[in-house]
Amino acid sequence: MDTENIHHQNTGDESGGISRKTLLKAALVAPIPLLVGQAPALARDARRTDGLLDPTPFCDDGDDPTVAQTEGPYFKPNSPRRTSLAGPGTPGVPLTVSGYVFGRSCRPIANALLDFWQADTNGAYDNSGFGFRGHQFSDAQGAFELTTIVPGLYPGRTRHIHVKVQAPNRPVLTTQLYFPNEPRNNTDMIFDPSLVMTVRTVGSGREATFDFVLDIVGTPSPSPTPTTSPTNGGGTWQAGTDYKAGDQVTYGGVTYRCLQGHTAYAGWEPPNVPALWRRV
């Protein structure tokens, strides 16, 4: 299995040419300026060379009960598909996180799965439901946007947002996003400065940006357009079934192997959730 490491780009654009990522940045309606003394947090701002972009370094989560559970003890599969984890009445400081998913050759990755989860404003995770949990897919330009709140603090950690990122038909990357100028950044043993977002205050809320650079050269093979259709695909996969890692099912005439145990439900058909199923 390929290893998906990622590296956050923080090299300023010192060249006179216009790179593909520079053009993508120019397409944004309101580019977010850098804070004083803060390095660029966007891969699309990185200097374009004839070489490949560095992948973002893998970030191991110190909350892990065992080494194998790098996402920490609070990850739950089957999160609902949504781009907003918070509404107008949700307690906390409003936050939007946006950016792109790129490959190392500076090509945006469409239909990349991004699964986010975080603590609420009091530092608590919802382990009984799916509060502050949700997944989405990058658009045709590799862009994503998440609406949420600034997560609260809990003992031993600085502020952070968990995320799994997966290009179509490629391994899952698990990492965390951090906030600049947090006092606990200096004492959190897991904190990685390369994973700090660019953040600015807008009114009573905050806007953050971060680009993921997956360890992929070229353009990943396409996957079916994500859907929430509850059809069974004419195979053995069935919503409501408890699947274990290694189980095999058929869906739409194709065989899939389960990558991690979960309860299936409509919207998580094998072609739609490469984090849970791999085509055999």
Q: Comparing C-alpha atoms, which of 86, 81, 89 is closest to residue 118?
A: 86
pLDDT at site 56: 59
pLDDT at site 105: 77
Amino acid at 144: F
Judge contact between 238 and 266, C-beta under 8 A. no
Cite the beta strand spans of 63-132 per DSSP E: 94-103, 113-117
**Torsion (CA) 44, 45, 47, 52 in degrees, nearest 10:** -20
Listed as ranges, residues in the chain with pLDDT below 70 are 1-70, 218-233, 260, 265-267, 274-275
Judge contact between 225 and 235, C-beta under 8 A. no
pLDDT at site 127: 92
pLDDT at site 190: 86
Distance CA 256, CA 250 (A): 6
Question: Tokens 């600085």 belong to which residue?
Answer: 158
- Encoded tokens for 112: 């990349």
pLDDT at site 208: 96
Q: Find residue 116's DSSP bridge partners.
A: 134, 163
pLDDT at site 149: 97
